[in-house]
Amino acid sequence: MNVIALSTLDLSMAAVLVIILALLSIVLRLKLASRIIIAAIRTVVQLMLIGLVLKALFATESLLWVSLLAVIMLLVAGREVMARQQRRFGGLWGYGLGTLSMFISSFTLTIYALIVVVGTDPWYTPQYAIPLLGMMLGNTMNGVALALDRLSNGAWQQRTIIEGRLMLGQDWHTAISDITRDSVRTGLIPIINAMAAAGIVSLPGMMTGQILSGTEPVEAVKYQILIMFLITAGTGFAAMLATWIGARHLFDERQRLRLERLTSNTA
Amino acid sequence: MTILRLEHFRVAQLEAFDLCTENEIVCLSGPSGSGKTLLLRAIADLIEHGGEAWLDDMACSRISPVKWRSLVGYLPAESAWWYDSVGEHFINRQSPYLEALNMPADSLNWQVSRCSSGERQRLALARLLQNQPRALLLDEATASLDPVSVQAVETLIKEYVQQNQATVIWVSHDAAQAKRVRQRQLEIQGNRVIEVAL
């Protein structure tokens, strides 16, 4: 089965729907019209660009270019994690903490999936490597952002309790354990829910895409299961790592709570 | 015998000072905002400070903060509670100090949220003493207590000092209380910590 190619006219007919939505939002004074249009234009431009990049990348099959794109994806995800936190660490830590956790978790698991599970040849075959990493990073990013936001806000709000526990001679790990446990749990809940609902409430995007492009549904399902497991593990490991390193950095070498290391993101 | 010694100790706006207390109760007074709480928190190594604190021959900076804080117990003016029931905060859900503090034995089964501030203050003292600290840093330990409970706390602390050879720095605004419990008196005047002759 061949894919039915979409023409510019086809896409324009879909775009009309978004324009109608924007007009409706003006009528209803939602103050969203310009945001809808800008976001729609961004979608077109960004996806077109990545389409061209992927086309060129698939043609070259070079490890260097695959790595370069992977690093750019990581850096953008890192920035996104930082931007989503109400309170975050000042300086390089604010950016580095989430980015490092995502790097360790997503890259390791993607390479594991490519080499051990799927067995692509060469292992960095861009048709597999880039979409896999993209899905890993996208989900890991959500988990890490949620976990770190919970950690920093929790520590801020419960500083009296954390210090109260330190005073009684508890170590930093125990003094903040309620908050770290809560943070990891918060980071993991969305992906656990997604696993539980997969196939019944929602048809995952990747699987749908593969089916649309002619893959046997059962084959598409197998890939979706692989992806689900990978992103669940990846999100969990990254959330744990980010929470642990972040919690440690809330204390100094004398295990004193150092909340001044957090800066408020009032924007 | 316990000796708590501060050497060129410096925190916030206070000038560096030395202090040596030995098996005694030292009261500390000074106007609000003069740095009394900061000083106690610094001695407990909860905030950054200059100089060194010694407990007998142990330097604060040389032993683990966890060990230091169990040996040098700090009781804040407002205690923190993190479990629902009082008893969960106590080792084996028991405490030998409840009676002396006029608290019923079943108070360990109470919900923290239903305790009055005075009850919490006394329970926090009982909780701190279970570590058997060698030095006690008390920050307005009787501020929200009725006269009977104030007396109970004072008696308990004096007994604890005697029996455990402990030493105490006690921040108190109440001059009459200071007179009842102290062997020595410190005062913060401006940026300086000075000893008042008795």
Domain ranges across chain A: 1-60, 63-264
Strand partners of residue B139? B171
Q: Can you tell me the distance from the alpha carbon of B60 to that of B44, in angstroms, rounded to the nearest whole number?
A: 9
- The pLDDT of residue B160: 97
A-chain CB neighbours of B95 within 8 Å are none
Q: Can you tell me the distance from the alpha carbon of B136 to that of B25, in angstroms, rounded to the nearest whole number?
A: 9
Contact criterion met (CB < 8 Å) for A254 and B131: no
- pLDDT above 60 (res A225): yes
- The pLDDT of residue A203: 82
Between residues 129 and 148 of chain B, which touch chain A (CB distance below 8 Å)? 131
Task: Report mean pLDDT in 10-residue bins for chain B, 198 residues.
Answer: 94 95 96 95 97 96 97 96 96 94 94 96 96 96 93 97 96 95 96 94
- pLDDT above 90 (res A2): no
CA distances from B164 to B121, B133, B156 (A): 22, 9, 12
> pLDDT: is A77 or A204 the higher one?
A77
Tell me which DSSP letter residue A224 carries.
Answer: H
Identify the band that residue A266 occupies on the pLDDT scale cut at 50, 70 and 90.
low
Share of chain A above pLDDT 90, in %: 85
- The pLDDT of residue A175: 97
Q: Can you tell me the distance from the alpha carbon of A194 to that of B46, in angstroms, rounded to the nearest whole number?
A: 43
Q: How many C-alpha atoms does B129 have within 13 Å on its Cβ side?
A: 26
Q: Which residues have a Cβ under 8 Å from the Cβ of A198 and sit 6 or more positions away?
A: A204, A224, A228
- Vertex B41 angle, CA B128 and B83, to 5°: 40
- The pLDDT of residue B38: 96
- Counted residue by residue, chain A has a size of 267
Residue B20 belongs to what H/E stretch? strand B17-22
Instruction: Give residue-wise pLDDT tens across range A42-63.
Output: 999 999 999 999 999 999 889 9
Contact criterion met (CB < 8 Å) for B76 and A167: yes
pTM equals 0.89
Question: Which tokens in the block code for residue B191?
Answer: 């940026």
Give the closest of A160, A165, A168 to B128, CB-based.
A168
Q: Can you tell me the distance from the alpha carbon of B27 to that of B172, in angstroms, rounded to the nearest whole number?
A: 7
Gyration radius of chain B's alpha carbons: 16
Residue A209 near residue A227, CB atoms below 8 Å: no
Candidates B43, B66, B79, B137: best to mutate against A (most CBs of A within 10 A) is: B66
Q: Can you tell me the distance from the alpha carbon of A143 to that of B162, in angstroms, rounded to the nearest whole number?
A: 55
Closest CA relative to residue A102, chosen from A9, A251, A236, A265: A236
Helices (DSSP H) in B22-116: which residue ranges? 36-43, 65-71
Identify the band that residue A1 occupies on the pLDDT scale cut at 50, 70 and 90.
low
- The pLDDT of residue A201: 81
The three-state secondary structure class of B5 is strand
- The pLDDT of residue A245: 97
* Residue A253: closest C-alpha in chain B: B65
- The pLDDT of residue A206: 87
Instruction: Give residue-wise pLDDT tens across range A105-123.
Output: 999 999 999 999 999 989 9
CATH class of B3-196: alpha beta
Contact criterion met (CB < 8 Å) for B80 and A163: yes
> pLDDT: is A263 or A203 the higher one?
A263
Q: Can you tell me the distance from the alpha carbon of A206 to that of A220, in angstroms, rounded to the nearest whole number?
A: 8
- pLDDT above 80 (res A265): no
- pLDDT above 60 (res A223): yes
Q: Can you tell me the distance from the alpha carbon of A207 to that of A112, in angstroms, rounded to the nearest whole number?
A: 21
Residue B21 belongs to what H/E stretch? strand B17-22
B87 vs A: CB within 8 A = no
**Mean residue pLDDT across chain A:** 93
